[in-house]
């Protein structure tokens, strides 16, 4: 399988009394940073406590609309504390114009109850995110498809049928119907759904420490709820179910409720 060739930004590598913290990633809107170090007791980002696994790994991300100064505080078992400051500049995004069936903009009354039920199911599944304290993603990240052709970038403002709609919180990959969709990292299936009104047939994976990925518009599911999957494992087939204008894969990534650009992850490799 071909991986993205992306720039890996090692932000900081600092020795503290024979203790070292290494960071992989980039501080930017939609960016993710993964840290690892020895003898870390705790870490917090702007006073939000982060999960540290048994290998000293932790992760945090910046929302699509993030801007300002973010302060990371790392406390070691010897009581020493080190702080890191990240300045994130507001980002401008492009506009994408699409035509969709009018029912997807103004769903009929008979469909509203279905939409509400589906949204509640996804909400309940996401409520479990954060239970897994281990960094299941330690094996790294790879492409969800064998071939890569980006159809719509992360963060663009969508204009549907001439009217502003929600921003695009993922990546759209052009693909042929029936192409294999692979897990971008090790994880646990939190929820699968078939023929949801907006998502179509989809799967949501939990990679630990609040990091998730979601795969929309499938034609077929090949995994079940609570199933453990490995990076590169086929979890479904490309389709055009739900609110879709043709066969493709929508890949979304979140760190808890923060919307993350999948390109910030794909290709990251741990040494």
From CA 127, how far away is CA 141, in angstroms rounded?
24
From CA 185, how far away is CA 195, in angstroms rounded?
24
Q: What is the pLDDT of residue 271?
A: 56
From CA 198, how far away is CA 181, in angstroms rounded?
19
Q: What is the pLDDT of residue 131?
A: 96
Q: What is the pLDDT of residue 149?
A: 85
Q: What is the pLDDT of residue 15?
A: 36
Q: What is the pLDDT of residue 268?
A: 73
From CA 5, how far away is CA 139, in angstroms rounded?
17
Model confidence pLDDT, tens digit, residues 100-150? 677 676 788 889 999 999 999 999 999 999 999 999 999 899 999 998 888
**Residues of the chain below pLDDT 50:** 1-18
From CA 110, how far away is CA 167, in angstroms rounded?
26
From CA 221, how far away is CA 219, in angstroms rounded?
7
Q: Confirm if 62 and 29 have CB atoms less than 8 A apart.
A: yes
Model confidence pLDDT, tens digit, residues 201-220? 999 999 999 999 999 999 99
Of 56, 15, 3, 57, whose CA–CA distance to 32 is shortest? Answer: 57
Q: What is the pLDDT of residue 10?
A: 35
Which distant-in-sequence residues (6+ apart) come within 8 Å of 174 by Cβ? 149, 150, 151, 248
User: What are the chain's domains?
Assistant: 13-88 (2.60.40.1930), 95-264 (2.70.70.10)
Q: What is the pLDDT of residue 62?
A: 97
């Amino acid at each position: 399988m071909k991986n993205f060739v992306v720039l890996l930004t090692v932000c900081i590598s600092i020795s503290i009394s024979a203790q070292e913290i290494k960071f992989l990633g980039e501080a930017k809107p939609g960016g993710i940073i993964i840290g690892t170090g020895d003898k870390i007791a705790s870490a917090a980002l702007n006073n939000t406590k982060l999960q540290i696994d048994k290998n000293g790994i932790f992760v945090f991300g910046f929302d699509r609309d993030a801007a300002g100064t973010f302060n990371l505080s790392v406390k070691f078992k010897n009581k020493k504390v080190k702080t890191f400051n990240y300045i994130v500049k507001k980002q401008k995004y492009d506009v994408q114009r699409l035509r969709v069936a009018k029912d997807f903009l103004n769903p009929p009354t008979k469909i509203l109850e279905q939409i509400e039920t589906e949204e509640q199911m996804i909400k309940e599944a996401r409520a479990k995110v954060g239970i897994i304290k281990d960094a299941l993603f330690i094996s790294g990240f790879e492409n969800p498809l064998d071939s890569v052709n980006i159809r719509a970038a992360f963060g663009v403002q969508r204009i549907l049928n001439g009217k502003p709609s929600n921003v695009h919180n993922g990546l759209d990959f052009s693909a042929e119907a029936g192409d294999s969709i692979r897990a971008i990292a090790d994880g646990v299936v939190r929820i699968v759904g078939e023929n949801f009104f907006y998502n179509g047939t989809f799967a949501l994976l939990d990679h630990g420490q609040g990091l998730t990925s979601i795969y929309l518009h499938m034609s077929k599911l090949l995994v079940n709820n609570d199933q453990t999957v490995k990076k590169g494992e086929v979890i479904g087939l490309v389709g055009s179910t739900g609110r879709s204008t043709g066969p493709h894969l929508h890949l979304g990534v979140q760190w808890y409720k923060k919307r993350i650009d999948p390109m910030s992850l794909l290709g990251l490799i741990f040494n």
